[in-house]
Amino acid sequence: MASKDPAVRTRLSGSERRAQIARAAEALARRQGLDAVTLRAVAAEVGVGSALVAHHAPSMEDVVADAFQAIVAAELADLERLRDRHADPVVVVRELLGTLLDGTRSDVTLIWVQSWALGGRNEALAARVRAQMDAWTEFLEGIVRAGTAAGRFRVDDPGAVAAQLLGMIDGLNAHALVSWRDAAGRIRLMSTAVEAMLGLESNELGG
């Protein structure tokens, strides 16, 4: 006869337990950063012993790398949807700069900043970081190419502009983690630079 004791836990399959561990690691990373994703912390988040987590996820480096990828890939997918909502490339860039620099994505910024530091000793993470940076560059380059083809931007090397945009966005967001400049100042500074890079008129991204 099956036990009706609510304290008895349902046994999960291996794939279910791994998915549970991945969700716990992602939740921890979003709340506290990648460096908070440890064996003990993940076990506590799931509500099981460390040995069980170690059994199903023997490499914490992979757990951290997977958490990073899940978080940043979700953000990029969100921005792709934003891009697809607007036909005018200038509006796309204006909206992107606004949402990326207004401080509402600081949890993801922290993930990125920590990934560059932790990736130096976690090759699984470093590989995911490189892949996601490539994906971001491709995303931005596509926007620049579309705007150039439509005659809205005047750009000779979309790939170079995309790489510069990514570096500038990352840099200003890293500065924001210590409250250097307010959101309006960051957006204004970036908009002025991007107008020049894309061959736009002064203040075309400002309104």
What was the pLDDT predicted at 206?
Answer: 84
What was the pLDDT predicted at 8?
Answer: 37
The Cα 41–Cα 25 span in angstroms is 8
What was the pLDDT predicted at 11?
Answer: 82
CA 53 to chain centre: 25
What was the pLDDT predicted at 191?
Answer: 96
Residues 6+ apart with CB under 8 A from 131: 69
What was the pLDDT predicted at 14?
Answer: 76
pLDDT tens-digit profile of 86-110?
A: 999 999 999 999 999 999 999 999 9
The Cα 95–Cα 203 span in angstroms is 14
The list of the chain residues with pLDDT below 50 reads: 1-8
Residue 101, both tokens: 């620099």
Q: How many CA within 13 A on the CB side of residue 67?
A: 35
Which residue type occupies 50? S
Which residue type occupies 160? A
What was the pLDDT predicted at 207?
Answer: 53
- Number of Cβ within a 10 Å radius of residue 149: 11
The Cα 119–Cα 117 span in angstroms is 6
Which residue type occupies 59? S
